[in-house]
Structures are given as structure tokens and as C-alpha cells.
Chain A
Amino acid sequence: GQNIDQPTEMTATEGAIVQINCTYQTSGFNGLFWYQQHAGEAPTFLSYNVLDGLEEKGRFSSFLSRSKGYSYLLLKELQMKDSASYLCAAMDSNYQLIWGAGTKLIIKP
């Protein structure tokens, strides 16, 4: 079956760095997406990886290892506004997104 695993909740300190891991098992693979979702709002796109390696975009970076079925989202210089849920989603061979349950990130001062 198809499956996405990510931690349910993480806590970090303002100004620090946090890494949110995601492992996936899908029928075929057409890329890995990360979305940010604040409470009561719809998700917003953060990143897309289809090749192995690290993609950096400002304070956020995303890494992919296709051979390991593994990705992580790295958030640097954490700000209070980064408190949100982070959703990992893998696209299968039918171009359908398989969603993880999300990781709730709590930022403390």
C-alpha cells in the first residue's frame, strides 16, 4: 500500500533550527511536496523535490533521497509565525498526491 510517515508534533525554540522528517512508500514516484498549513487555513506550497539532493529557498530547505524513500524539511532561524502544521505529500505514478497526516510544529520563545 501507499504510505507517508511523519512525526505528529515537534517543538522548537525561536531562532533555532528544526528538521521535519518524512518517509514515503508509493506506487511509482513523481516528486515530493511540502506544504505549510496554519490552523484554520488552507495549505500553502513550500517546496517540490523530484531529484536527490537539497533545495534551498530562503530559511526553508528540502531534501530528498529517492533510494531511501526519505525527505526532510529544514527550517532555519525559526520565527513564531512558523508555528503551523507541515504536510508532506508524495506524488505517485498516477500523479496523485498521497498526503501525510502532518507535523504540528510548536515554536517557543
Chain B
Amino acid sequence: GAVVSQHPSWVICKSGTSVKIECRSLDFQATTMFWYRQFPKQSLMLMATSNEGSKATYEQGVEKDKFLINHASLTLSTLTVTSAHPEDSSFYICSASWGEVGEQYFGPGTRLTVT
């Protein structure tokens, strides 16, 4: 159980365009979803935390107007990278959990390359 999917698994886009990444909890209702970014050989960097039906809480230094997060239901959250630039190229990973003290179940990640 506790499967999280992400789509797409990889995407290449041109600079200036927008990209949407979907994160779904397939067999449980996620009260909270997290979006991370990971650069090569570095640890996970939390970008934002979102609860269903409310606005996401962004970490310091993360531009909320650039990284739009929508958590429309207990099983779906989306991250839209707007006006993408080459420096946005990274591995984006979502995770989902339920309850306060719960494991985070990670999606397989989305590798974004901006040319």
C-alpha cells in the first residue's frame, strides 16, 4: 500500500514555457503533500507543503508565483513551474502523508530539463 505516482517521469521544455507535474496518492487519502527539489549529489530541498483545500506553505527562498501548487483533492496535487529557466532543471519529487506523525511516501520523481 501507500503508493504515490508522479507524471510525467521526465520532461524537456524550452525556456520561458510552463510545465505541470502531477502527484497522486493511489491507495490512500493524503492529508498533506510535499514538494521537493533535488540537485545532483545533493539532499532533498523542501519547496512547499500543501494541505487539501488550502494554500501551500512555501519554504523561504521559494517563489510562490513561479512554483504554483494546487492541492485540489486528497489524492492529487500539482506543481506548475512557470516561465521555466535552465536553472530550474532538477529532479522534482513529491511525497504524501496522512496524520501528523506519519511516514512520507514518495513519488518516483520528475526529471525536468529546461533548454
Contact = CB atoms under 8 A, between A and B. Distances in A.
Interface of A: 30-31, 33, 35, 40-45, 48, 50, 87, 91, 95-97, 99-102
Interface of B: 42-44, 46, 49, 91, 93, 95, 100-101, 103-109, 111
B103 A43 contact: no
A101 B43 contact: yes
B18 to A, nearest CB: 23
B104 A45 contact: yes
A97 B105 CA distance: 13
A43 B101 contact: no
Given A42-B106, A43-B93, A102-B43, 20 more contacts: A30-B100, A31-B101, A33-B103, A41-B109, A42-B107, A42-B108, A42-B109, A43-B44, A43-B106, A44-B106, A45-B105, A50-B101, A87-B44, A95-B100, A96-B46, A96-B49, A97-B46, A97-B104, A99-B44, A101-B43
23 contacts: A31-B101, A33-B103, A33-B104, A35-B106, A41-B108, A41-B109, A42-B93, A42-B95, A42-B108, A43-B44, A43-B106, A44-B106, A45-B104, A45-B105, A48-B103, A87-B43, A91-B101, A95-B100, A96-B49, A99-B43, A99-B44, A101-B43, A102-B43
A31 B101 CA distance: 8
Contacts of A30: 100-101
Contacts of A43: 44, 93, 106
A62 B66 CA distance: 39
A96 B100 CA distance: 9
A16 B115 CA distance: 44
A41 B42 CA distance: 13
Contacts of B91: 40
A91 B49 CA distance: 14
A99 B108 contact: no
A43 B103 CA distance: 12
A35 B43 CA distance: 12
